Structure 1
């Protein structure tokens, strides 16, 4: 089996973290991170659901939201939290551990501790089925094209082994073992399916099975600190950033790996998973391998991960979105745990830039409940849904008004002016001109006349009355010459008195110029 690059060692990462802490501690404390999201509770039918039940799993599709609960119910809701009672039912007799939706949003697969797999349609029941396994599956992933006729209506389940289930003629059910784990490998706690690739994680790492090649193409070994998992059960999280890039969040680590294009290998090879069925490849067969592009250790425990895009409508990811819990020092030497959402931008293989770190007040926020906290997102719409056992939040990008207001509240007037000027058309409550005037007035009051004058063009633009107002202001402070080289002579053209005041000041203060 072709494995991914060797993971970075714990010692090297710990050393880097220690060095940063010792040398840059004071600087890091002074960094003010701008919030990128605004958070709102999703209500409507949600409070009624959580009055009688508690959430255990989540998946969000373009069409709907599916929430699994600890009593076995699957609730189908719209993005505003309104219940679709016709699609909601108790599918299991125990806590739902995982939910998966096909690309079309037509079928949902779920698994629970009752050893039952439930596959059911949203608006159609042609391929609905229920399967009782001998051993309870901890994870499930439905084929992206499950609803297509002739696709075989496949899904995979994971306990110690990875099983591919397929619907045959006359509704017969067939399963194939793709991977057989040893006892030391532990249980498969996460599965994700994208195109021909099925990724799954157990205690020994994340493997990627390629259906076209019928073999494992990678084993990405874990890099997290085992001590970080003490006192809680940490479930790994998968997020496909595109068809070739998989992000893995696990405990206090994030890895991003890329499936490289196929190349020709003249030697015969075989897959290398534990007791996995092998398929010999002939000479000159196309081979794929996986490289780890980023491997980060972070100071929080991951519940789920997603991503942001570089620009609207782009398929290029910019940041990894991490939702989870963070230990913070409490009173009398103790510690408290808070829910947190962070944005991590790549800076190097082992380093990242922390762009945002938002703390969210959520109930039942304890390490024991980490497995019940989930995030599922619609990155193309910049919507991120955060689930706790008894509450549901939506995170969406801050509006232009909110971002400008934050800059102003934190005395970052220059940044407020720059942002308001670029995004003036998006401002609904604030006025870019008034923000600029506040900045100029602040500079004048502090005696920073040169800086104030240099920003007049940005703030005043074509507003003739504002130019004339500030000429008078600078004259009142006996520094009108500061605006001389910035005064417009046309578009707008000012009243003669404005130019005269500058010329007179120059005549008295610099007669050699005339």
Structure 2
């Protein structure tokens, strides 16, 4: 039920804003029961607001009151874009309506059928051309209805006749004569199908269903009677709705059961003859009801669960499987002459309650200009339904022929939901309303000078056929240029003109005539225009906007124009104004475009402008840096240093140092950067860096002296002494071996005993300790500090024995305690170390003895390294002739026959010592000789 594809309205739930009604099939009690239920359930929501509009609308007002106020409002309020467009049906219909008046209409996607006051039925195409004509009635046709396929047409008339006419076949056609005039008729949407039952419903003072019975006969069933004639009727899907004087009934045609009665709630002073009801099904489950000045949007829903017994009105009540819910209802400030869906909105053919309506311009059929006229023109209003009210989206006043002679009952509105078309019918006119297409919207926006919005639509909407971005953009450009909005026009050119050479050249001509090329220049494409175009722009900027000229020269590549031609023009201008810095910068850039970088560099240096660094980087002019390093440093030290340090192979340090030798601050900055980033390359200049750090950065001097060994100590000492840099001098003296002088400066100049103690500990020199002790003997604090720190380095008695008698030393006891504790700790550490050494030595010696005592295996395949014969004979004895079976085994596991070894007993040992022959393995001795010779 909820998933149909046709337009639908979403429900917004609020208390008291829905209404449903259940009925029984007992027709004699149905009206009373429905009325009671509606009165009970709709008491809080059905408001009788006769004559009270719930949405305000701009009106022109009477000519004799408020005319000036109306004109002011008209000027202040911006004209809204219409939602619909209108076209009067012409063709044969024009001649038909000259002789006869239209009384009703029916339409589908293939045909339009018009009923007239004379009883004729005209079948037309959508252009108004006659296809067929039937003379079915003798009095005005009151209603026409087509089946779902458009194959059959039903008509009724005041002559009491009902005719079902086949448009393409004579089968299943019927002609009935009723007892009373027939107001409404409805064909089953599936009437064209063979097994549909060929049903149709006729509305007189009762509503009767006719369906095909046996032998081609018709069987009739009275669905309802009483409550007045059925003035309107619509059948969609399985549901049939018809309107009687008491309200609108909805019936489920699968069971012929009435679902509900939508009770009439507008004023009874609006008779149904003059203000007839209007029904429309946007989809099989949504019903629109417009009657008098009331509009309702209803939804048929399936009853999901049966109600509990205590809620049933009577014990025998059987509820239908569907119920109807009013999701929107509101009262209008106009009379409804017809309505239909437009997406989530409702389109209403309106008739003003008051006599003043907007006037119609002479050139069209609809207007939104609120001025007054002397008649009541019908209006097409697009409304957004809300709870208890509505919001008007748009309002168009229609130029219907002879509108002065018509009342609400003379107008009809037929809606084609799928095609989104509306047929507005009056006796002398048929107007077709359609939603405005994207092309229509663009046309309206252009005619109302909303060019930007039109351009957005043509870019984003895929349904545009008549317009292109180029065509709309050209109109927009024309408008901007004609109104002097050159900046906006120039910014729009890239989007509109694209890469079209001819269009761009035309735009340049137009802007040149207006002397606004400087505005267009930032937006010109960098190709494929002729060089003359770019030169024209550059020359214009050269004479009118020097800053703009510079910017364009920097942005445009030199291939776009004749650079030499522009250079000559710039030189001519500079001849009259040589101090123009902006043009000089532009000239430098132009020179760089033709690879005359030396001239460009000279200009930038003359100007002292930072663009010189961009020039160097862009064209790899690093070889020129050495020549101009002083000028570059004067311009920007950091940028120059970055170039010099990053390109040492092109900008060698020795040349830079020579160039900066007379500018010590620049030299300091350069050598400091070199030392920080390329320390290896900075070593030859550490001596110079010592003097520079002494003058410009003393904290770094000490770090250099401590970590570098590439400077000359003597000159460095002179630098430090000449500047009274005591700490640095102490360090240099210590490195030069003058430790005693360093200690003197520490004690006398710095008076830093801790530093002095550290110096003595580093050198561990008795003379230094003696000098320090002598210095401390008359200073109790120094004696205490020495006792605390030197207990593990020298004999404490050297200090204690030399302390003068009677000298009071604060903290002496604690110092002595610490001294003794340190001494005992040192003794314990030495003892422990000795024990560890003895234990390790004993363990390793035992291991060595064990290894050396181990037997050396001799295998049968082992060969003597000297004779290359096997050590053991095949019989198991020792091999070798005359050897006496003696083998010699060395610790290196080499095994020899005794007789194969030379006897070195006499040569190897001095007299008086026991002979130790064969104490050296010949193989190992030869390996050692080879290793020694190769090394």
1:305 deviation in Å?
2.0
8 Å contact kept, 1:108–1:122: yes
Equivalent in the alignment of 1:389: 427
Q: Structure 2 residue aligned with 1:361, among 385, 400, 417?
A: 400
In structure 2, C-alpha distance between the alignment counterparts of 1:473 and 1:259, rounded to whole Å: 64
Equivalent in the alignment of 1:320: 346
1:338 deviation in Å?
0.9
The reply on whether 1:504 has 2:550 as its aligned counterpart is yes
Cα deviations across residues 308-335 of structure 1 (Å, max 9, x unaligned)?
A: 3xxxxxxxx343222343354289x984
Cα deviations across residues 169-224 of structure 1 (Å, max 9, x unaligned)?
A: 1233322222232xxx3322111111111111122222211133543323333454
Equivalent in the alignment of 1:114: 159
Q: Which structure has more helix as a fraction of its residues?
A: 2
Check 1:293–1:465 CA distance in 2 against 1; reply closer, same or farther (3 A cut).
Answer: farther
8 Å contact kept, 2:330–2:387: no
SS class of match (2:455): helix
8 Å contact kept, 1:69–1:96: yes
Q: Structure 2 residue aligned with 1:132, among 165, 174, 177?
A: 177
Q: Structure 2 residue aligned with 1:173, among 210, 218, 224?
A: 218
1:59 deviation in Å?
0.5
1:168 deviation in Å?
1.3
- Larger RCO (CA within 8 A; separation ≥ 6): 1
In structure 2, C-alpha distance between the alignment counterparts of 1:27 and 1:264, rounded to whole Å: 55
The reply on whether 1:50 has 2:84 as its aligned counterpart is no
How is 1:152-191 mapped onto 2 (pairs within 5 angstroms)? 152-181=197-226, 185-191=227-233
8 Å contact kept, 1:239–1:305: yes
Equivalent in the alignment of 2:168: 123
The reply on whether 1:264 has 2:305 as its aligned counterpart is yes
Check 1:9–1:170 CA distance in 2 against 1; reply closer, same or farther (3 A cut).
Answer: same
Equivalent in the alignment of 2:284: 243
Q: Structure 2 residue aligned with 1:329, among 346, 351, 356?
A: 356
Q: Structure 2 residue aligned with 1:79, among 93, 108, 126?
A: 126
Check 1:135–1:492 CA distance in 2 against 1; reply closer, same or farther (3 A cut).
Answer: farther
Higher mean C-alpha displacement, 432-441 vs 203-212: 432-441
SS class of match (2:130): coil
Q: Structure 2 residue aligned with 1:339, among 378, 393, 406?
A: 378
For structure 1, the 5+ residue unaligned runs are 273-277, 309-316
Check 1:83–1:279 CA distance in 2 against 1; reply closer, same or farther (3 A cut).
Answer: farther
In structure 2, C-alpha distance between the alignment counterparts of 1:153 and 1:271, rounded to whole Å: 36
In structure 1, C-alpha distance between the alignment counterparts of 2:267 and 2:521, rounded to whole Å: 59
Cα deviations across residues 362-381 of structure 1 (Å, max 9, x unaligned)?
A: 2254343x323223243433
8 Å contact kept, 2:54–2:330: no
CA-atom RMSD in angstroms: 4.2
Check 1:468–1:374 CA distance in 2 against 1; reply closer, same or farther (3 A cut).
Answer: same
Equivalent in the alignment of 1:94: 139
Higher mean C-alpha displacement, 352-361 vs 243-252: 352-361
In structure 1, C-alpha distance between the alignment counterparts of 2:287 and 2:312, rounded to whole Å: 20
Check 1:462–1:360 CA distance in 2 against 1; reply closer, same or farther (3 A cut).
Answer: farther
In structure 1, C-alpha distance between the alignment counterparts of 2:473 and 2:332, rounded to whole Å: 39
Higher mean C-alpha displacement, 190-199 vs 157-166: 157-166
SS class of match (1:80): coil
Equivalent in the alignment of 2:336: 302
1:336 deviation in Å?
0.9
SS class of match (1:293): strand
The reply on whether 1:408 has 2:446 as its aligned counterpart is yes
> What TM-score do you get using the length of structure 2 for normalisation?
0.46
SS class of match (1:386): strand
1:11 deviation in Å?
4.4
Check 1:268–1:57 CA distance in 2 against 1; reply closer, same or farther (3 A cut).
Answer: farther
Q: Which structure has more strand as a fraction of its residues?
A: 1
Check 1:198–1:117 CA distance in 2 against 1; reply closer, same or farther (3 A cut).
Answer: same
Q: Structure 1 residue aligned with 2:47, among 3, 9, 18?
A: 9
Check 1:66–1:481 CA distance in 2 against 1; reply closer, same or farther (3 A cut).
Answer: closer
1:58 deviation in Å?
0.9
Cα deviations across residues 109-128 of structure 1 (Å, max 9, x unaligned)?
A: 22211222211211222211
How is 1:393-472 mapped onto 2 (pairs within 5 angstroms)? 393-398=431-436, 401-422=439-460, 426-428=464-466, 432-443=469-480, 451-452=488-489, 455-463=492-500
8 Å contact kept, 2:105–2:425: yes
8 Å contact kept, 2:180–2:204: yes
Equivalent in the alignment of 1:311: none
1:96 deviation in Å?
1.3
> What TM-score do you get using the length of structure 1 for normalisation?
0.78
Check 1:196–1:417 CA distance in 2 against 1; reply closer, same or farther (3 A cut).
Answer: same
Equivalent in the alignment of 1:151: 196
In structure 2, C-alpha distance between the alignment counterparts of 1:488 and 1:269, rounded to whole Å: 82
1:44 deviation in Å?
3.1
The reply on whether 1:211 has 2:253 as its aligned counterpart is yes
1:162 deviation in Å?
2.0
Q: Structure 1 residue aligned with 2:324, among 273, 290, 301?
A: 290
Check 1:222–1:432 CA distance in 2 against 1; reply closer, same or farther (3 A cut).
Answer: farther
8 Å contact kept, 1:215–1:279: no
In structure 1, C-alpha distance between the alignment counterparts of 2:422 and 2:58, rounded to whole Å: 31
Check 1:190–1:231 CA distance in 2 against 1; reply closer, same or farther (3 A cut).
Answer: closer
Count of aligned pairs between the two proteins:
485
SS class of match (1:405): helix
8 Å contact kept, 1:72–1:112: yes
8 Å contact kept, 1:210–1:216: yes
8 Å contact kept, 2:188–2:235: yes
- Structure number with bigger Rg: 2
In structure 1, C-alpha distance between the alignment counterparts of 2:256 and 2:610, rounded to whole Å: 84
Cα deviations across residues 50-95 of structure 1 (Å, max 9, x unaligned)?
A: 344222111112332222222222222222323234xx33222322
Cα deviations across residues 238-272 of structure 1 (Å, max 9, x unaligned)?
A: 11111111112222333211112331114469999
1:455 deviation in Å?
4.0
In structure 1, C-alpha distance between the alignment counterparts of 2:290 and 2:167, rounded to whole Å: 30
SS class of match (2:418): helix
